[in-house]
Amino acid sequence: MSLPFALTPGEPAGIGPDLCLLLAREAQPRALVAIASLALLSERAARLGLDIQLLPVAPSSWPPHPAPAGSLYVWDTPLAAPVVCGQLDKANGAYVLETLRRAGQGCIDGYFAGMITAPVHKGVINEAGIPFSGHTEFLAELTHTEQVVMMLATQGLRVALVTTHLPLREVADAITGPRLQRVARILHKDLVEKFGIARPRILVCGLNPHAGEGGHLGREEIEVIEPALHELRAEGLDLTGPLPADTLFTPKHLEHCDAVLAMYHDQGLPVLKYKGFGAAVNVTLGLPIIRTSVDHGTALDLAGTGRIDTGSLQVALETAYRMQRATSCKPQASS
């Protein structure tokens, strides 16, 4: 029997519950279990005018087959307070983290094949008195993983990040040789093991304009990035760079690579989101479990309106399915 995938709806006042219900209108190729409040999903379905049959399940009674169209398996996780669409309530901060804990621990314990997450609201969780910096860090701690890597992907482009949510003035100091090497090794390893690419070709961005212009616009390329890449190439990694980011994201370069490694958040992600916003997926690399996510936020103003697109969630699901298949197959040629 194939294991089901866990689906967490994220912030209950946002569009995550809506996405799960809209998705349930059509049958999925794999069984999905929404880890959420049954009452919340029932109320939201009524608000949206959706006739979705909610099917309660638990770890002792996992579904053997995908749910039929128009239905959704739910592992009931009670709310702390009633939800009003679009209105954050810190009382439900612990509820959000409990859905993530159940999904992540379920993957660790072998109950789930992987997990797909809808967006959370970091601010309201912190306002509840619970330190929380994001899904990635939460799952890294849960799985006792020292280093994880954020990668976004859309059709024809994958972008991984050396640094993620840092103020720009802190980025240069954060890019060290050991950190760059750890990130590159994780990216290479998961492209092989979770995406089935036998010999990944990775393009590496420089940090500075024109990749430092030979040291005239910064020396990080000369003193940090190039030496780190030299050592990685000796290990067998196929790395090209450091290249100027303003010309790296062009067809002549991208058609010959499997992923781009950007130095910081707004160096690589604006390009990817311009190319595929609403049809992109966020993947956490380096975890011992499969985790994918949507590429957008909670959209509080759209919760309960029905005026949303499930495209990113569908891509996140399809990516998780492919990653699970790749883990049990031999790597393919570069793509």
Q: Can you give the residue ranges of every domain in the chain?
A: 1-145+290-334, 149-286
pLDDT, tens only, 93-107: 999 999 999 999 999
pLDDT, tens only, 223-236: 999 999 999 999 99
> Residue 335's pLDDT is what?
47
Give residue 133's identity as a one-letter amino acid code.
S
pLDDT, tens only, 303-321: 999 999 999 999 999 999 9
Beta strands across the sheet bearing 291-293: 53-56, 71-76, 32-36, 5-8, 115-117, 291-293, 281-285, 149-154, 157-161, 259-262, 201-205, 238-243
Chain-centroid distance of CA 47 in Å reads: 28
Q: What is the DSSP letter of 2?
A: P
Cα dihedral 312/317/319/324 (nearest 10): 170
Give the whole-number percent of the chain exceeding pLDDT 90.
Answer: 91
149-286 adopts what CATH topology?
Isopropylmalate Dehydrogenase (3.40.718)
The residue ranking higher by pLDDT, 329 or 268, is: 268
pLDDT, tens only, 273-295: 999 988 999 999 999 999 999 98
In the three-class reduction of DSSP (H, G, I as helix; E, B as strand; rest coil), residue 23 is classed as helix
> Residue 252's pLDDT is what?
92
Residues 6+ apart with CB under 8 A from 273: 152, 280, 295
> Residue 277's pLDDT is what?
85
Cβ distance 285 to 143 under 8 Å?
no
Distance from C-alpha of 106 to C-alpha of 110, rounded to nearest angstrom? 6
pTM score, whole prediction:
0.91
pLDDT, tens only, 51-78: 999 999 998 888 879 999 999 999 999 9
Task: Give the pLDDT mean for 19-36.
Answer: 96
The residue assigned the tokens 């290249």 is 243
> Residue 2's pLDDT is what?
85
Domain 1-145+290-334 identical in fold to domain 149-286: yes
Give residue 305's identity as a one-letter amino acid code.
T
Structure tokens at 246: 């303003």
Q: Which CATH architecture is the domain 1-145+290-334 placed in?
A: 3-Layer(aba) Sandwich (3.40)
The reply, when asked if residue 165 is annotated as ligand binding, is: yes
> Residue 134's pLDDT is what?
86
Structure tokens at 124: 């309201």
Cβ distance 85 to 45 under 8 Å?
no
The reply, when asked if residue 282 is annotated as ligand binding, is: yes
pLDDT, tens only, 152-201: 999 999 999 999 888 999 999 999 999 999 999 999 999 999 999 999 99
Mean residue pLDDT of the chain comes to 95
The reply, when asked if residue 265 is annotated as ligand binding, is: yes
